[in-house]
A and B are shown apart, each in its own frame.
Chain A
Amino acid sequence: MGRAVAVIGTGQTKHGRRDDLSYPDLVREAVKKAFEDAGITPKDVDGVVYGSMPSMMEGVAYNHFYFADALRTVGKPLFRTETCGSTGQSVAHTAIHWVASGMADIVLVVASEKEHEGDAQATMMTILEPFLMVTIGGAPVAFSLQSREWMGYYHIDEDKAREAASIVSVDSHDGGLNNPLAHIRVKLTKEDVSKAPIITYPVRLYDVCPVSDGACAVIFASEEKAKKICKKPAWVKGIGFRGEEYFIGDSSKAVWQSTIEASKEAYKEAGITNPLKELDVAEVYNPFSYQELMFLECLGLCPPGEAPDYVIKGTFSPGGELPCDPSGGVLCCNPIGAAGLIRVAEAALQVTGKAGEHQVEGAKLALSHAMGGAMQFNGITILGSEL
């Protein structure tokens, strides 16, 4: 993969409804924290990468122009990378490639969303052309269709899938309670989740992520710089990214090749042969609880069709073999463009022992993941405490 790369600092805003700040102020909140965390100044940075959802989300095209000052990009090269929900992974990968190649030593990565300023669902409907793949039900229906396809393909009992999805939601919301920056911080029971109003069946209210405002900044550095600047860097052990065809019916979404192939590539690079055993924590992108079940399988964390059994026996719960989304995950906080980068930042916090109340004790190897597009993209970044 080229030169070794490390995360030397992260910063996140308080996520939620942030009408109190203008959009550049919100971006600055995360950027400032990342610089403070890394203990460097903007003049140490060689370049900046930024990403978000499409312009309609907040009504400003090329919003990285609007944020030029908040991104501290004056006098520096600036890349914009976006792949919808997986944007956060894509911006991280852009920086990793940049540093690994030797063309830069320190790169600032920023991603953000301020969904309350516009209409998130209206924006997401413009991701598909309007005459062939006309969606009914916006983003929730796309991923509900995917979940149902998965349930149908493996003949998974509806009640069993419901129970497992409820556990995923309860665990994530418990994580949110331990994460002071999370948007949704509420105690739920399995019954609260399984009896909640239907949004897009089988998906109910607490199976769905919220609409959030928030930003995340992560600073990547070369081995030489990281060792000089940072006492405890989080090392990039492996990355993987895969795209798929546009038309949703063209390939299986139950056995999702882009998740499978992206994670295989990342595991190979990281030298991981048994991810369930070797990983200590996973920040799986889970805007929908049912979708997380499918991800657990496609990320190779349990056998195909058996995610509900593994979830029900507690494998991915707090204290289980591989705790997932101790931060509360996307179910508790979804500033979409930033959500994939928050997964990277959370993985870095975990392997450097800085995750506070939601720290997984002794975590040394963490997976972060995000998906995006018309069920088209999956990106993985694995971070570790050792080079």
Chain B
Amino acid sequence: MAEQKEKPRKVASMGMVPYEMALGPTWTRFFEGFKEKRILGTKCNKCGRVLVPARPFCPRCFEPMEEWVEVAQEGTIVTWSYVNYTYFGVTPDMIPVIGATIKLDGVDCGTGMWTQIGGFDIKDFELVTKKVKVGARVKAVWRRKRQGNFRDIDYWKIIE
């Protein structure tokens, strides 16, 4: 074949699909609790574990988890990370953020849903490494207006 002069080019394409995802009865009730500043878990009557977020069934026993338990709003940091880069949907004004997994008191798993550590100047990285530690105690800080979704907990505050 004769040598090709033109540079291989690309073609633009975009797909956008709106979804409506069913929360089901358990997660609907879980987020209703958020509106009232309550964190609700469910308990497995077979293994006895309390899990947050609440579950319709025990992931291990496969039994329905129908017993509701209001849990503590304080807990311990299991792990954390300092997010300092932009990516799809994240603009420079939205970083840094501190993501974390938190073990709430009386709960038998870590909770890692939209759990951000905040309440101080997190742009000060030195301060972050001083305050945020595995094992540090934290407390939920709620938004004034709550809509029954993960954003209702504004951030988790370090208890000094």
Residues of A with Cβ closer than 8 Å to B? 19-21, 56, 59, 117, 119, 121-122, 125, 129-138, 140-141, 144-146, 148-149, 151-153, 197-203, 245-250, 253
Contacts and interface: CB of A to CB of B under 8 A. Distances in A.
A249 B99 contact: no
A144 B103 CA distance: 18
24 contacts: A121-B88, A129-B21, A132-B27, A132-B150, A133-B112, A137-B97, A140-B83, A140-B85, A141-B83, A141-B99, A144-B81, A145-B79, A145-B80, A152-B79, A152-B135, A198-B125, A201-B81, A201-B84, A202-B81, A203-B81, A248-B101, A249-B101, A249-B109, A250-B109
The 7 A-B pairs with the shortest beta carbon distances in the complex, nearest first, are A249-B110, A152-B134, A201-B82, A122-B88, A149-B79, A137-B83, A144-B81
B51 interface: yes
A136 B83 contact: yes
Which of A122, A140, A152 has the largest number of chain B CB atoms within 10 A? A152
B81 A145 contact: yes
A171 B78 CA distance: 30
B112 A131 contact: no
Consensus secondary structure, chain B interface: loop
Contacts of B10: 19, 117
B21 A20 contact: no
Given A200-B81, A248-B101, A249-B101, A134 B111 contact: no
Given A21-B8, A152-B78, A130 B134 contact: no
Interface of B: 8, 10, 13, 15, 21, 23, 27, 51, 53, 59-60, 78-85, 87-89, 97, 99-101, 103, 109-114, 116, 125, 134-135, 149-150
Contacts of B87: 121-122, 137-138
Contacts of A56: 15
B53 A119 contact: no
Nearest to A122: B88
Contacts of B103: 249
B124 to A, nearest CB: 13
B114 A134 contact: yes
Contacts of A140: 83, 85
Given A122-B88, A131-B21, A152-B134, A247 B80 contact: no
Nearest to B10: A19
